[in-house]
Amino acid sequence: MPAAPRAGVTLADVAAAAQVSTATVSRVLSGNYPVAARTRARVTQAVADLGYVMNVNARALARSRTSTIGIVVQDVAEPFFGHIARGVERRAAELGLACLIMASRGSKERELELVDLLRSYRAGGVILVGGATDDRGYRTKLAHRARALADEGGILVLCGRPPLGDGAPTRSVGYDNEGGAFAVTSHLLAQGHRRIAYVGGPPRLSTHTHRLAGYRRALEQHGVAWDDDLVHVGRFDAAFGRATVAGLLRHGLAATAVFAANDEVAVGVYEAAEEAGVAIPGDLSVVGYDDVPVATHLRPRLTTVSVPLEELGRRAAELCVADGADAVDAVVGTRLVVRDSVAAPRAATEPGALSSAES
Amino acid sequence: MPAAPRAGVTLADVAAAAQVSTATVSRVLSGNYPVAARTRARVTQAVADLGYVMNVNARALARSRTSTIGIVVQDVAEPFFGHIARGVERRAAELGLACLIMASRGSKERELELVDLLRSYRAGGVILVGGATDDRGYRTKLAHRARALADEGGILVLCGRPPLGDGAPTRSVGYDNEGGAFAVTSHLLAQGHRRIAYVGGPPRLSTHTHRLAGYRRALEQHGVAWDDDLVHVGRFDAAFGRATVAGLLRHGLAATAVFAANDEVAVGVYEAAEEAGVAIPGDLSVVGYDDVPVATHLRPRLTTVSVPLEELGRRAAELCVADGADAVDAVVGTRLVVRDSVAAPRAATEPGALSSAES
DNA sequence: TTGAAAGCGCTAACAA
DNA sequence: TTGTTAGCGCTTTCAA
């Protein structure tokens, strides 16, 4: 058992105890450097005896680079972000990196502040997680910081959002929002649905706009006309899903299916349907996006698009340390997962089948 | 708009640009120090012009204390931990602290390593989140580190777990596991249940043992005999809840209710019941613990014990910076939340009522 | 293979 | 009100 550690044990203390210079201690601690076996042993012993742990801040200062990365999410407790954060944390730990985590609460101003804060911590990589708002001024400001970060030896990593453009020095790992939305909408279309409501948001958030684009493309490909009244843009949460569908139901639902642009929204859709006595999928088919655990908690189980969130996070962590060569922007695949929340629309099924099912 | 930041802008650069000494720059940056308004303005200008951001590592070294705290959870993506982490992060941000987050994956060896790692980062506070394994050797080792941390000017904060004893210098914020379990078990008893299965774990984890103790006390108080066959100790996850109850059902369920020691376990209980065609709460009543969002996603909605997880996290963050005086160990309250997963047991209800309800 | 010493960027006496 | 300067704990040439 190591001795009870003393206050503020430093490298110099260890050097004194081992009767060597601080340089030698530094070398054995850093590994990769020729040190005589006996000297090394003495040093190792002294470290153990004194309960010494290195001061990483001092090391960071001396080396002028840290082994810390930063990760900015909207909300730590949100499953979407939590799963990505898990991937980042795990891969970072494997790579010997520590993670500073911060929450923007969806404010782009705060996000900007946070990357500056992370910059002050000299984080080697700063990972921005989740969709970004499409805003010219904001993009410019972010590009500035990306450049500053790069100048300081760090790198800005975009995780699940589009690149900044303008040759801003960033790396990115994304997934195909448009493609997943296209797939899941096509699935609905294939079942015979023609009036499919879209519920998502916020307005200019990339995740939402790209998913909406996939929805649109699927409609077009099936020759279904676009209907503004079916598209509801608000937020990415259950309350919005619920309020929207409750409203729809109140005014006589025109849709036979709803594409909840993420699983949280789908939770709200289920609630509204339940309250109104509308059966899923009998009266209304529902699909989601993300495939977070709640998708399998819902009854009927939710058909949705699976995004490998943890993998996304792992890739992002890797991009923080990759050297130029293998720092290729990555894209991970999404996958439609069919469960029990979709059925053919009532109108498409012969009347007899409906009534017999209800008898 | 600030100028495009240059690489490695330092305090000295700012001082030069503003034609003052580094000390002066340091003073305006630190705030709270008398500096002439005009000088201050020049410095502020230079900072903006150069896009300067302070190097916190250098500051930490010079001040020999950091504005960083560490938080150790089992798993970042688990809602229980995610919500606590959210509280920590939010309060920390308000206090001007950055959070290093690390996951132990439930290994106590790794947890010990992580506090050493955090110690090397000179984290001012290290928050250990969630139940702890009752293990003498482990406790001793942790106590050592608590002392080392304290010697270095930091503090070990225990969040949701019992104190170390032996006068180890820690602070803690907890909640009443035993009391909550007593309350929810009593609720079941009050409905007429006498054969209540307990499903939780792992074996010596404090959260589990304390909840089990509450269960036991409630039984005793109602004069219900303890039955080993009803107590199932394994893990705190859905898979265990499912497997356990599936087994129970296969061998002819002896219980009329189950106390899932956390909501995740309850998810598994619901799955097993669903598979076996057992109705909740008609055939089987179920209660959980924690009141994470899944409790309201389940149908019927889960009766459970609400723990103010975010508040718990906020308190923990505060304890990292509190000075001796107001650093009182805190305990936040829990609350029984009754929803729809509990009914009177079949045996206790008169036969007529049952059949009429089903007709 | 090891040691001496000059920093890394910032703070905090101590002077002025 | 401001400047000078000696560290904070570690790394890393450059010599030996």
> In chain A, which residue's Cα lies nearest the Cα of B119?
A53
Burial of A167 (0-12, 13-18, 19+ CB in 10 A): exposed
CA–CA distances in Å: residue A40 to residues A32, A45, B117, B247: 12, 8, 22, 56
State the DSSP code for A168: -
> What is the distance between the alpha carbons of residues A43 and A56, in angstroms, rounded to a whole number?
19
Nearest CB to A6 within list B61, B151, B297:
B151
> Residue B143 carries which side chain, given as an amino acid letter?
A
Average pLDDT of the residues in A276-281? 97
Which residues partner with B172 through β-bridges? B158
Please tell me the pTM assigned to this model: 0.94
> What is the distance between the alpha carbons of residues B297 and B156, in angstroms, rounded to a whole number?
36
Can you tell me which residue has its alpha carbon closest to the C1' of nucleotide C8? A62
- At residue A347, the pLDDT reads 61
Which range (A32-41, A245-254, B275-284, B288-297) has the least confidence? A32-41
> What is the distance between the alpha carbons of residues B31 and B52, in angstroms, rounded to a whole number?
16
Average pLDDT of the residues in B103-107? 97
> Residue B327 carries which side chain, given as an amino acid letter?
A
Question: Does A148 lie at the interface with B, CB-CB under 8 angstroms?
Answer: yes
Domains present along chain A, CATH in parentheses: 11-62 (1.10.260.40), 67-174+309-332 (3.40.50.2300), 177-303+338-349 (3.40.50.2300)
A317 touches strand C (CB under 7 A): no
Residue B339's CB: how many other CB atoms inside 10 A? Answer: 16
Read off the pLDDT of residues B287-309 as tens digits, 9 standing for 90 and up: 999 999 999 999 999 999 999 99
DSSP per residue over B281-337, as a string?
TTT-EEE-SB--THHHHSSSPPBEEE--HHHHHHHHHHHHH--GGG---EEE--EEE
A221 touches strand D (CB under 7 A): no
> What is the distance between the alpha carbons of residues B159 and B129, in angstroms, rounded to a whole number?
5
CA–CA distances in Å: residue B105 to residues A60, A89, B75, B108, B257: 28, 11, 6, 9, 31
Average pLDDT of the residues in A10-25? 93
- At residue B346, the pLDDT reads 83
Strand D near-CB residues (< 7 Å), B 14-73:
19-24, 27, 33-36, 38-40, 58, 61-62, 64
Number of H helices, E strands in chain A: 14, 12
Read off the pLDDT of residues A106-138 as tens digits, 9 standing for 90 and up: 999 999 999 999 999 999 999 999 999 999 999
pLDDT greater than 70 at residue B354: no
| pLDDT category of residue B261 using cuts at 50, 70 and 90 | very high
B58 touches strand C (CB under 7 A): yes
Q: Which of B30, B55, B102, B136 to mutate to test the interface with A (most CBs of A within 10 A)?
A: B55
> What is the distance between the alpha carbons of residues A236 and A185, in angstroms, rounded to a whole number?
18
Sequence-distant (≥ 6) Cβ neighbours of residue A167 within 8 angstroms: none
> Residue B290 carries which side chain, given as an amino acid letter?
D
Read off the pLDDT of residues A156-179 as tens digits, 9 standing for 90 and up: 999 999 999 888 999 999 999 999
Question: Does A92 lie at the interface with B, CB-CB under 8 angstroms?
Answer: no
pLDDT greater than 70 at residue B230: yes
Task: Report A:45-64 residues touching B (Cβ under 8 A).
Answer: 51, 53-58, 60-61, 64
| pLDDT category of residue A64 using cuts at 50, 70 and 90 | confident
Answer yes or no: do A90 and B103 touch at CB < 8 A.
yes
Q: Chain A to chain B, count of Cβ pairs less than 8 Å apart?
A: 147
B79-94 and A79-94 helices cross at what angle (nearest 10)? 80
For the CA of A312 and the C1' of C14, the distance in angstroms is 54
